[in-house]
Structure 1
Amino acid sequence: MAALGRLSRALLRSSLTQSRRQLSASAHDHGEQSARTWKILTFVVALPGVAVCMLNMYLKEQSHSHEQPEFVPYSHLRIRSKRFPWGDGNKSLFHNPHVNALPDGYEGHDE
């Protein structure tokens, strides 16, 4: 009976070792195949997609007008209930005088 137990353990051990080797080789092949697939997708899908987006942005920028928008003194816009803690207190932190109007109009324009 003891010999039968030793034999079954030896067979089980050898079959487990063999299946581990097969799984290891299979996982290694699968990893290489996945890496190859992602490399192909990067060059065939991702990079052309980025190029198309860049071309779209460039063409839209070329057709965009760079004129200053008309100032309309709406009462609900540009409300200053409290001064900003920087500069003269009237301009926002990322103020752009070409596009951002102050409560009384754009800077540098006496209309």
Structure 2
Amino acid sequence: MALSPTAVAARRVFAAAAHSGQEGGSVRTWKILSFVVAMPGVALCMANAYLKMHAHSHDAPEFVPYAHLQLRTKRFPWGDGNHSLFHNPHTNALPDGYESPHH
């Protein structure tokens, strides 16, 4: 079974930390682990999220006016009273449908 370069580096760091007799060895170990394991891991996760975001279309589903989803018992206290606080016209429908013309 072949190990990835990151796994090999992590094993070396752990082995060095286990045999370290110095008091500051654990700080050095965590610093090295941060650069060798954590930062590449975060970079890989960011690249994965970016690629998945561009692979999928972001079209909203067709608007169906379900009465139980669009209840308005009173107006919102901001704006025109019909838009939620974090309203996005491309993804959030109003009681009568989407605002943006591409839907």
Shared fold, TM over 0.5: yes
Superposition map of 1:29-108 within 5 A: 29-30=22-23, 32-108=24-100
Give aligned-pair identity as a percent: 70
How big is each residue's C-alpha offset from its partner over 1:30-64, in whole Å with a ceiling of 9 and x where there is no partner?
A: 2x101111111111110111011011101111112
Instruction: State the alpha-carbon separation in 2 of the partners of residues 106 and 58 from structure 1.
Output: 27
Query: Structure 2: how far apart are the matches of 1:102 and 1:84?
Result: 13
Unpaired runs of 5+ residues, structure 1, are: 1-27
- Structure label with greater radius of gyration: 1
Deviation at 1:93, TM superposition (A): 0.7
Shift of 1:94: 0.8
Structure number with the bigger relative contact order (C-alpha 8 A, sep ≥ 6) is: 2
Output the aligned Cα RMSD.
1.9
Distance in 2 of aligned mates of 1:33 and 1:80: 61
The aligned length equals: 82
Counterpart code for 1:96: N
Please, what TM-score do these two structures have when normalized by structure 1?
0.67
Report the secondary structure of 1:34's partner residue.
helix
Q: Deviations over 1:4-46 (max 9, x none)?
A: xxxxxxxxxxxxxxxxxxxxxxxx922x101111111111110
Q: Which sections of structure 2, spanning at least 5 residues, go unmatched? A: 1-20
Distance apart, 1:108 and its partner CA: 4.9
What is the CA–CA distance in structure 2 between the aligned matches of 1:56 and 1:44, rounded to whole Å? 19
